Amino acid sequence: GLHMRPGELFVRMAGSFEAKIEVINGDRRVDGKSLLDVFTLGAEKGTELEIEADGPDAEAALDALTEFVQRESIDEDTMNQE
């Protein structure tokens, strides 16, 4: 999930792109560059999120953010097994 530390890193990464970034959880859609908005999604581990980007570097943003979320999930799973 996108809780404190991963959420902060996600928002920081999203903010490095010009594209408008939105994170979607069911019927909730929030600004992916706003830490408070991302936290209000309540995305716990195992929650499927959609990420949308629109702008000049949208494709690069989606690639980087998707890789980040997948890597964080793997890291979290590894930590839970130890």
As annotated, the active-site residues are: 3
Q: 52 and 21 in contact (C-beta within 8 Å)?
A: yes
Tokens of 40: 């209000």
**In sequence order, which residues have a C-beta less than 8 Å from that of residue 50 and are 6 or more positions away?**
23, 24, 25
Cα(68)–Cα(82) distance, integer angstroms: 21
